[in-house]
Structure 1
C-alpha cells in the first residue's frame, strides 16, 4: 500500500489545506496492490514533491509504504526515497536509520522507473 503527495508536494487530504500549493483533482495519492507470484510489485504514480516537515523544513520527496503479509500481526511501515533526491541528507527520518542500512530506503533509478526491493524474513 502506498500514499504520497502530488508532484507539487500537496496531499490529497482535507488535512492539507495549503492554498499556495497546487491541488491536482486527478491525483488521489493512494494505491494498493498484491505481489505477483515471484514477489514483484509495481505502482504507476508521479514523483512526489517536497512536503513541510518540522519547523520550517521540507521533507525529502518520499512515498510512504505499508506492507501487509502472511504471519504479520501488524503492518510494517517504511518510506521510499529517491536516489539523488533533494533533501535526502537533511530529512530527519532517514537520519534515524543507521547509515549502513539507509540504502534500504533509497529507490534506484532504472531506465523508465524506480526500483526498491523489500525483503522480509531471511
Structure 2
C-alpha cells in the first residue's frame, strides 16, 4: 500500500518555486552540451577596399606623408587584437629622413578602424610586397 505524501508546509512553498526554475535551467544546459557561451563577436568580413582606404588614411595620419620610400604592404591577415580576431594590414615604409617603420592597421566590419600597437608582434610571418601608392602620397 502506498503511503500518503506529507504536505509541504505553507512557508516552504515559495522556496520550492524559487529553486525549481534555476535547477531546470541548469539541467537543460547540461543536456545541451554543458557549455553556455555568449560570444557575440561575429566573423569579420574581408576588407575589400583596403588598398584605397590605407593611403587616404595615412595622408591625414602621418605628419609629413610626402617622400615615403621603400613602401611595402602585406595582404590582410586575421590576428587576435584585444581578444578579438580582426583583419590586419601590415605596412612597412621609410619616412623622409627617418628610419624604417612598421605599422599594423586594424579593420573592423570590413573597414579601416585604427592603427594597432605592437605592429612587430602582430605582423610576424607576413610577406610584404611593394606598395607604390604610399610613395605617391602628398598633402
- Give the helix-richer structure, 1 or 2: 2
- TM-score normalised by L of structure 1: 0.27
TM-score (normalised: structure 2): 0.25
Structure ranking higher in strand proportion: 2
Task: State the structure with bigger RCO (CA 8 A, min sep 6), 1 or 2.
Answer: 2
